């Protein structure tokens, strides 16, 4: 992998990740852009104890542009975009309309391929590995920023999810705090550790799931299963079998096997609802340990946390979505229409190979 860092016309950082070491990236951003001005701020909810990012400048962000005006496609002739070069393998750049900025963190866009009509599931193993390497590199770099406590790599796919740019891409949020979802996991981890005299909850969950009926697929270094209490109609958790706190902890064997396992999962997701159905909308979310102190979580060390990816869709059946209505949105109590055991069975049935 070759990494080349440059700057866009408004001062934002852009990084090329290339498969070939001899690739030269010297194209300049020719757009007449002013410096980006953001108004992002973090507000704490005194009752719930969580945080809300207020970012009014995002109201003017790019919204469903036609394919020939996609800002994530490479620059071609006089059609200028966020990527100055005429081609790329993987690109990461600072979001022009970030939810988090400055002392409130940082937001980046990850373009998986220059092919506007592709998808992550359609990448080659080599391309998927390059994305993994880019995620890992950005996690390392962002963790050193003084305002960053947790790094979250994710992909939103599909208009039903709320995606406003059709080009295959994901995002990275670098939060200045430990997110509420992670805090809940750390509290459960601490409670289990105390109750069992030191047992690791993540290890226990993985061991139980691998011995049960909800396993979707299993490799030498990775395992994927539908969790016992799945929140979403089709939800899969992907774990490395050797517990590590973040992407940086993966060894070469796990990195090598990851593309094979992950691409297979994504291709199965597109087959859940049968042939002829539109691509399955999904969210793919990496859970990594925070880089800040864990003093508030009694007895928990950073390496007690287990890196894992959660992949889920909001589509519950053909042509129908799972909406977060009163119970989910009002009380955070999910009602799942698809039994997890049936979801796992279906994902085994639609093996793409």
Please check the confidence at residue 36 and state whether its pLDDT lies above 90.
no
Question: pLDDT band for position 63 (50/70/90)?
Answer: low
What global pTM score does this model have?
0.96
Instruction: For 104, list phi and psi in degrees, rounded to 5.
Output: -95, 10
Angstrom distance (rounded) from CA 239 to CA 223: 5
Please check the confidence at residue 204 and state whether its pLDDT lies above 90.
yes
Query: Which residues partner with 183 through β-bridges?
Result: none
**Least confident piece of the model among 33-37, 86-90, 164-168, 247-251:** 33-37
How would you classify the pairing of strands 282-287 and 150-157?
A: antiparallel
| pLDDT value for 58 | 80
Please check the confidence at residue 107 and state whether its pLDDT lies above 90.
yes
Please check the confidence at residue 134 and state whether its pLDDT lies above 80.
yes
Can you state the percent helix, strand and coil of the chain, rounding each to 5?
Answer: 30, 25, 50
Give the contacts of 75 (CB within 8 A, at least 6 positions apart).
27, 30, 81, 83, 84, 85, 86
Please check the confidence at residue 177 and state whether its pLDDT lies above 80.
yes
Tokens representing residue 180 in the block? 């509420």
Question: pLDDT band for position 60 (50/70/90)?
Answer: low
Confirm if 297 and 186 have CB atoms less than 8 A apart.
yes
Closest C-alpha to 306, from 218, 239, 224: 239
List 64, 144, 169, 237, catalytic entry: 169
Please check the confidence at residue 353 and state whether its pLDDT lies above 60.
no
Give the contacts of 252 (CB within 8 A, at least 6 positions apart).
none
Question: pLDDT band for position 215 (50/70/90)?
Answer: very high
Please check the confidence at residue 352 and state whether its pLDDT lies above 70.
no
Please check the confidence at residue 86 and state whether its pLDDT lies above 60.
yes
Run of H or E residues at 94: strand 90-94
Tokens representing residue 93 in the block? 């750049």
Please check the confidence at residue 68 and state whether its pLDDT lies above 90.
no
Confirm if 167 and 156 have CB atoms less than 8 A apart.
no
Closest C-alpha to 261, from 290, 207, 219: 219
Closest C-alpha to 183, from 290, 74, 338: 290
Tens of pLDDT, residues 304-322: 999 999 999 999 999 999 9
Please state the rounded mean pLDDT for residues 256-281.
Answer: 95
Give the dihedral sign, CA 5/9/12/17: negative
Confirm if 64 and 162 have CB atoms less than 8 A apart.
no
Question: pLDDT band for position 38 (50/70/90)?
Answer: confident
Mean pLDDT of the chain: 95
Say whether 287 is catalytic: no
Q: What is the dihedral of CA 224, 285, 267, 241, to 10 degrees?
A: -20
| pLDDT value for 35 | 81
């Amino acid at each position: 992998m070759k990494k080349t860092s440059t700057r866009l016309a408004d001062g934002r950082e852009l990084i090329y990740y290339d498969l070939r070491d001899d690739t030269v990236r010297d194209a300049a951003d020719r757009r007449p852009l002013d410096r980006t001005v953001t108004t992002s701020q973090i507000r704490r909810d005194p009752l719930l104890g969580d945080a809300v990012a207020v970012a009014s400048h995002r109201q003017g962000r790019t919204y469903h542009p036609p394919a020939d005006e996609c800002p994530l496609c490479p620059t071609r002739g006089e059609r200028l975009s966020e990527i100055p070069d005429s081609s790329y393998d993987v690109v990461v750049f600072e979001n022009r309309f970030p939810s988090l900025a400055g002392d409130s963190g940082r937001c980046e866009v990850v373009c998986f391929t220059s092919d506007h009509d592709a998808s992550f599931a359609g990448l080659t193993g080599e391309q998927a590995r390059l994305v993994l390497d880019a995620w890992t590199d950005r996690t390392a770099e962002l963790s050193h920023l003084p305002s960053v406590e947790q790094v979250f790599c994710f992909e939103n796919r599909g208009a039903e999810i709320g995606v406003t740019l059709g080009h295959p891409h994901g995002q990275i949020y670098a939060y200045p705090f430990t997110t509420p979802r992670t805090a809940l996991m750390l509290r459960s981890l601490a409670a289990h550790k105390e109750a069992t005299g030191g047992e690791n909850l993540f290890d226990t969950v993985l061991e139980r799931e691998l011995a049960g009926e909800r396993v979707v697929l299993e490799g030498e270094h990775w395992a994927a299963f539908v969790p016992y209490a799945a929140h979403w109609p089709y939800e899969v958790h992907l774990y490395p079998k050797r517990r590590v706190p973040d992407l940086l902890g993966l060894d070469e064997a796990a990195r090598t096997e990851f593309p094979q396992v992950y691409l297979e999962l994504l291709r199965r997701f597109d087959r859940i609802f049968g042939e002829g159905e539109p691509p399955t909308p999904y969210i793919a979310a990496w859970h990594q340990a925070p880089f800040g102190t864990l003093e508030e979580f009694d007895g928990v060390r950073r390496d007690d946390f287990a890196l894992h990816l959660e992949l889920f869709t909001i589509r519950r059946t053909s042509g129908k979505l799972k909406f977060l209505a009163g119970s989910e949105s009002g009380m955070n109590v999910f009602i799942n229409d698809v039994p997890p055991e049936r979801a796992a069975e279906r994902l085994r049935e639609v093996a793409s190979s």
